[in-house]
Chain A
Amino acid sequence: MLNRLVQWARRRSPWVLHYNSGGCNGCDIEILDLLTPRYDVERLGILKEASPRHADILLCTGPVTRQSRDRLRRIYEQMPAPKWVVAVGTCATSGGVFRGSYNMLGGIDQVIPVDLYIPGCPPRPEVIIEGLARLLATIDVPEDKPPRDAAEPPAEQLKSVAADEGEASDDGD
């Protein structure tokens, strides 16, 4: 019963954080566009939050540049569980046209685990909404588990994060 309530709440109150790890702006303005009158995602309970600590879903755009990598990982670490990551746009999915560059690591999933990919260059706001809706529909809180479980990042990821912790000061920016 309680788990049903929690599941209901999580599906209806996804607060998102947006991070551009090296994209061209196209996806970013489409994400910002979600908030504006034509799309108005507040209808679905989606709020764009400013601090990683307040967010449930990380919307990532752009391929990951070498300079962005640590920051992206740190933002992910700062988010409280349960959390989800959505790669918005072709670049975030695979690196897109920028594959092969000396400063590129590829898609978001090279750095943090991704729950949903939304390809498109850039994806239309409708498509982003559709993607988010599908992600929300998969959120469930099984009856036999306590409501606070998080998708464990792969072991290898954890290791590299641990290596980072020396310099990360968690100042929330």
Chain B
Amino acid sequence: MTRVTIPIGPQHPLLKEPLSFMLTAEGERVVDSVLRLGYVHRGIERLAEERSWVQNVHLLERVCGICSHIHTTTYCQGVEALLELEVPPRAQMIRTLMCELERIHSHLLWLGVLAENVGFTTIFMYSWRDREMVLDIMEDLSGGRIAHAVNIIGGVRIDPDAEQLDSIRRGLDKLQQQVDTLLDVVQHERSLRVRTQHVGRTTKELVRRHCVVGPVARAVGIDEDIRRDAPYAAYDRLSFKVITESGGDVWATALVRVRETSESLSLCHQILDQLDPGDVATRAGRRVPAGEVVSRAEAPRGEVIYYIRSAGTDKPARLKIRTPTLPALSLLGEQLRDIKLADVPVVLSGVDLCIACADR
């Protein structure tokens, strides 16, 4: 059979961001793929070395527009560790609240993109409509729908009052119903299952070999979650389940993500109940003592790791970011082999790519 090269990207309706996959296909069967990143490479690691510690909060929020808060959280907690700052418990709680809201937002967004990619526009519309509720809550809290600018070094910038918390509770309750419906849809809708079950199947071994983290790893039964294994922010004061599945296909990752959304909603409620009054920030100096720190956090897509080194000046000497999409892309190289062309969008959706994160 003749082989054709089918370019996916950098401009392709399947991708909201540019990256390029050169698929080699025989008829409808994809036999190989070549990945090219760099279309969104903004050189953030180098830029960060030229900005002050405070300016970097602003810069790092723009590593990724979907999980912006987790980046600043990881960065701030790293810098706070270098400064040996004690972050007030209320600030920790608010940080965690935003993290969980962001997870809900990201997972609902993902479900919509998956549905859109299998041609199920209706689910896309509904899950994005429900996502608006989370955006409303986040906007209510921080003033921004997408970029929240909540974190500052030493705490957070916002201090919600009782009225706001009440309105958040109401929003969360409404959202809970919608998420239950969506879970029901993912579990039972036939045509969605036909398209996602047994597609993009991975194994525990493959996931380990490619160092994949997050929902994709949990969908093959790897029980890992930084929130529980190395609690940061306020996670040590909260209780939640780490969701795992055993299927390893795209459907399993969908179940993991939707169930995690429910879990996040319960976390939000716990946070609102435990939110004691107090300070939301401690003062931080402009210079950070020399030293190095490795900071990890659980983004919606899995473990985020920052390595920060200070030379004792007002700028970082080195700031390294690794986001969960990078190992997922490595796994994709294996997944995009010997599958049907029509399954490519499903497999790509399954790992929940965030190219802006991967390219930096």
Seen from chain A, the residues whose Cβ lies within 8 Å of a Cβ on chain B are 17-30, 32-33, 36-38, 50, 52, 62-63, 65, 67-68, 71, 75, 96-98, 100-104, 121-122, 124, 171, 173
Given A29-B65, A36-B112, A104-B43, 15 more pairs with CB closer than 8 A: A18-B16, A24-B40, A24-B62, A24-B63, A28-B16, A37-B128, A65-B39, A67-B38, A67-B39, A98-B47, A101-B46, A103-B41, A103-B42, A121-B62, A122-B146
CA distance A29 to B145 in the complex (A): 11
Identify which of A36, A65, A173 contacts B12 (C-beta below 8 A).
A173
Q: Which 5 A-B pairs have the closest CB atoms?
A: A26-B65, A25-B65, A50-B13, A36-B128, A101-B43
CB distance from A169 to the nearest CB of B (A): 10
In the complex, the answer to whether B64 meets A22 with C-beta atoms within 8 Å is no
Residues of chain A contacted by B13 (CB below 8 angstroms): 50
- Minimum distance in angstroms from A47 CB to a CB of chain B: 12
Q: Nearest chain A CB to B21's CB is how many angstroms away?
A: 11
Can you list 9 pairs linking A and B with CB atoms under 8 Å apart? A24-B68, A25-B17, A29-B66, A37-B129, A62-B40, A67-B41, A97-B47, A100-B50, A173-B7
A27, A101, A121: the one within 8 Å of B47 (CB) = A101
- The listed residue (A17, A26, A173) touching B62 by CB distance below 8 A is A26
Q: Does B182 contact A (CB under 8 A)?
A: no
| Chain B residues near A32 (CB-CB < 8 A) | 16, 128
State how many angstroms separate the Cβ of A139 from the closest Cβ of chain B.
24
A residues near B66, Cβ cutoff 8 Å: 25-26, 29
Contact status B17-A26, CB under 8 Å: no
Contact between chains at B147 and A65 (CB < 8 Å): no
Task: Assess whether B58 is interfacial by the CB under 8 Å rule.
Answer: yes
- Does B221 make an interface contact (CB < 8 A)? no
Asked if A21 and B16 sit within 8 Å, CB to CB, the answer is no
**B65 to A28, Cβ gap below 8 A?**
yes
Residues 3-17 (chain B) with a chain A CB within 8 angstroms: 7-13, 16-17
Provide the bound-state CA to CA distance between A88 and B50, in Å: 26
Please give, as numbers and ranges, the residues of chain A lying within 8 Å of B17 by CB-CB distance: 20, 23, 25, 28
Name the B residues within 8 Å of A96 (CB-CB).
Answer: 62
> Restricting to B41-83, which residues have a CB under 8 Å from any CB of A?
41-44, 46-47, 50, 58-59, 62-66, 68
B199 interface contact, C-beta 8 A: no
Shortest beta-carbon distance from B56 to chain A in Å:
10
CB pair A26–B146 under 8 Å, yes or no, is: yes
Closest to A49 in B: B13
Q: How far is the CA of A37 from the CA of B126 in the complex (A)?
A: 8
Answer yes or no: B289 CB below 8 A from chain A CBs.
no
Q: Is the CB of A24 within 8 A of B64?
A: yes
B42: chain A residues within 8 A (beta carbon): 22, 63, 65, 98, 101, 103-104
Q: By the criterion CB–CB under 8 Å, are B18 and A102 in contact? A: no
CA distance A100 to B43 in the complex (A): 9
| B354 in the interface (beta carbon within 8 A) | yes
CA distance A167 to B263 in the complex (A): 51
Contacts of A24 in B (CB 8 A): 40, 62-65, 68, 356
Can you list, as one digit per residue, whether each of B88-123 has a CB less than 8 Å from chain A (1) or not (0)?
A: 000000000000000000000100100000000000
